[in-house]
Structure 1
Amino acid sequence: MRKAVQFAGAAAVAALLLSGCGSSGDGGKDASTPSKAPEAAPSTAGGDGKAANPTAVEGAWKGGTTAAPLVLVVAKGTVAFSNGHRSACMGKVEKMAGMTMAVLKCTDGDTTRTMGTLKPGADGRTLTVDWKNGPTEKYTRTDDGSIKIPDLPKLPDLPKS
C-alpha cells in the first residue's frame, strides 16, 4: 500500500508538471527565482563539461526498461523523478559550479538519485544524467504521450460504523 501511494504521488506530480497547472494569479510574473548565473551560455551537448541552458532539459524524459521504468519530468525549474514503484522524488533544477543540476529529495529516503548533472544531447532528444551517488543514465525525450500516468489504485472500502 505504501509503495502504491508513493507511486501515485509521483504520478500526480508528473501529471501536474506535464499539464503546466499552477496559479494564474501571479500578474504575469514568473514565480520561480531566477538563477544568479549569466544566461549567455549556450546549450551544449553533454560530455564537454560546460553548463547546459536549463530550458534545454525541460520536458518529459523516459529511460530504463519495461521492467524497471525511469521517468524524469522537468518544468519551470522543478523536477520530478520516479523509478517505477520504488521511489518518487521531487526537487529543483539549479546551476552549481557552472553545471545544470537536478537536486531532489525522495519520499523513501533513498539518496541514489538526489543530485545529478543534466547533460542534454546535441539532438535535443536525449538527456544524460550523471547521478552523484548512483548510475549514469540516458533518457529519451517523449512528446508523444508514451509516458502513461497510471490510474490510482483502488482504495479499500471504509469500515461501516
Structure 2
Amino acid sequence: MTTLTTRPASAAAVRAHHLADAPSDLRCPAAGKSRSMHRFPAATYLCRAVAREERAIAQQALEATDRTASRRVGALALTGSAVFAAVLVLLATGRAEAAPGAVVLALLAAAFVLVVVALVVVLRRHEAEHDALAHRVQMYEARLQELRARR
C-alpha cells in the first residue's frame, strides 16, 4: 500500500488569495451560509486574517452552545423542581395513602427520574460539544500566537 503525500501550498498562492492556505482548505461559499459556520478544522496553515476570522466564528459557536445548554438545564431544573414540589404536596396532604394517590405518586416519581436522566444527557452532550469548541478556539489562538512570534 502506498503512502499519501501532501505538499503545502506555496507562498505565492497564499499571497495571491488569503483563503487558499492549504490544499485541504474547503471554504466554498454555500447558499447564504458561507460565513455562519466553521469551515476549516485545522489551524496549522492559516494566515493571520483567516485565523482571526475562524477564531471569532469558533468563539461565537462556543457562546451559542453555552447559552443553549444553560437554557436547557434551566428548563429541566425547573421541571424537576415542579415535579418534586408536587410529590411533597401529595405527601404533605396525605392523599398518597389512597389508591389513586399512590398511582399519582408513582407517576410523579417516574417523571422525576426521567427529568434527572434528561438532565444528565444534556450535560454530557454539552460537555463534549463545549470541549470540542474550546479546543478549536485554543487552536486558533495558538496559531495567532505563532504568527505574532514570526513578525
TM-score bracket, shorter-length normalisation: under 0.3
Greater helix share, structure number: 2
TM-score, scaled to structure 2: 0.25
- Identify, as 1 or 2, the structure richer in strand: 1
Greater RCO between the two (CA within 8 Å, min separation 6)?
Answer: 2
